[in-house]
């Protein structure tokens, strides 16, 4: 496939599936209280939360690639945001409603801990605009939603700055690089984009080089500082995830298979629902279970329930949203 005509990298499906399943297992095994207690098992699956970091690198690639192939310019800014809104918002709103319904219904389920977690109207309104991080006393209905706020901030920043990266002028590109490299020094919390900018930049730089917008020399001169900042400001595991993600894309970009495509297609829906549906399934059945095989079956059941729910959400809400979004042209 001619990379100059490439708007889709097949192996991304595999990476999305790995990332979403990793986060699922992390939440099922490491955040379910008093369920899995083995130190070795917990230490292994603790790394599952780095699936989020993989998603950030992937977003660093796929959104710029889409913008390049769509010949993005500033005049297309409203259409870009509308396109992203149509693509991601309907499944997200559906997940917010499902999470809200769960928090209301759990008080009526026998055996659940007596704790009123029903969200207020204010909390729901803050969710709609991804504004929960700006209101410290408010908590996300679903613990994974914080990353969607990061992604939305990324879309806004990229829509305003990416034309600089596409400029033929070195000064403009340098300004783009400086913003993404320096952002982490001004970060106040990992709940906001600046802390993650070097990780997103790893993906952006690769796509700029892959699309022949920058030279190999320029790619490495900026990528190496970005890697250093990922290691310094985030952690070493994030750097390994970033390098590994880029390596798989570079050497296996055309890899595709039916399983990868399936999990890649439902990865967003799976990410949205697993901490509600799957975690609730595991929490409810985990009481009184002691043997390893029983716990393993419950985790597997939680994954099956999550995948099934994600398939339904993808089929009836995400896919129609995706088709509608594809009709919006820059």
Q: Does 111 have pLDDT greater than 80?
A: no
Task: Determine whether 273 is exposed, middle or buried from the number of CB atoms within 10 Å of its CB (0-12, 13-18, 19+).
Answer: buried
pLDDT, tens only, 22-37: 999 999 999 998 899 8
Number of domains within the chain: 1
Look at 88-92, 251-255, 280-284 and tell me which has the smallest mean pLDDT. 280-284
pLDDT, tens only, 155-167: 999 999 999 999 9
Q: Between residues 6 and 325, which one has the greater pLDDT?
A: 325
Q: Flag whether 2 is in a domain.
A: no
Q: Flag whether 4 is in a domain.
A: no
Q: Flag whether 1 is in a domain.
A: no
Structural domain containing residue 151: 11-326
DSSP 259-292: HHHHHHHHHHHHHHHIIIIIHHHHHHHHTT--SH
Q: Does 236 have pLDDT greater than 70?
A: yes
pLDDT, tens only, 136-183: 889 999 999 999 999 999 999 999 999 999 999 999 999 999 999 999
Q: Flag whether 233 is in a domain.
A: yes
Q: Flag whether 301 is in a domain.
A: yes
Let me know: does 264 contact 12? Beta carbons within 8 Å: yes
State the Cα–Cα distance between residues 129 and 152, nearest whole angstrom. 9
Q: Flag whether 321 is in a domain.
A: yes
Q: What percent of the chain has pLDDT over 70?
A: 95
Q: Does 287 have pLDDT greater than 90?
A: no
Tell me the CA distances in angstroms from 150 to 190, 307, 329, one per residue in order: 9, 24, 24
Q: Flag whether 5 is in a domain.
A: no
Q: Does 328 have pLDDT greater than 80?
A: yes
Q: What is the mean pLDDT of the chain?
A: 94
Hey, CA dihedral for 310, 315, 321, 326, is it positive or negative? positive
Q: Does 1 have pLDDT greater than 50?
A: no
State the Cα–Cα distance between residues 22 and 270, nearest whole angstrom. 11
Q: Flag whether 164 is in a domain.
A: yes
Q: What is the pLDDT of residue 81?
A: 95
């Amino acid at each position: 496939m001619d990379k100059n005509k490439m708007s889709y990298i097949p192996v991304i499906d595999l990476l999305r599936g790995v990332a979403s399943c990793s986060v699922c297992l992390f939440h099922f095994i490491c955040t379910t209280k008093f369920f899995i207690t083995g130190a070795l098992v917990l230490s292994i699956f603790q790394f599952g939360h780095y699936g989020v970091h993989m998603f950030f690198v992937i977003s660093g690639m796929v959104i710029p690639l889409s913008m390049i192939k769509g010949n993005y310019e500033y005049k297309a800014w409203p259409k870009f945001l509308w396109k992203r809104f149509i693509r991601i918002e309907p499944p997200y709103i559906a997940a917010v409603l499902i999470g809200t319904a769960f928090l209301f219904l759990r008080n009526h389920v026998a055996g659940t801990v007596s704790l009123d977690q029903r969200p207020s109207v204010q909390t729901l309104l803050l969710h709609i605009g991804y504004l929960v991080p700006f209101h410290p006393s408010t908590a996300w209905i679903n613990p994974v939603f914080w990353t969607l706020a990061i992604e939305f901030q990324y879309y806004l920043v990229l829509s305003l700055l990416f034309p600089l990266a596409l400029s033929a002028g070195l000064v403009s590109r340098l300004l783009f690089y400086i913003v993404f490299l320096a952002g982490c020094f001004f970060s106040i919390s990992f709940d906001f984009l600046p802390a993650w900018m070097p990780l997103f930049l790893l993906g952006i730089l690769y796509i700029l080089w892959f699309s022949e917008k920058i030279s190999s020399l320029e790619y490495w001169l900026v990528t190496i500082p970005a890697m250093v900042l990922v290691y310094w400001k985030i952690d070493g595991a994030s750097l390994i995830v970033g390098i590994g993600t880029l390596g798989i894309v570079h050497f296996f970009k055309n890899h595709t298979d039916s399983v990868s495509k399936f999990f890649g297609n439902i990865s967003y829906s799976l990410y949205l629902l697993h901490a509600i549906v799957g975690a609730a399934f595991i929490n409810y059945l985990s009481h009184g279970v002691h043997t390893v095989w029983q716990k393993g079956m419950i985790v597997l059941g939680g994954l099956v329930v999550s995948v099934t729910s994600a398939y339904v959400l993808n089929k009836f809400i995400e896919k129609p949203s995706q088709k509608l979004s594809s009709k919006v042209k820059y």
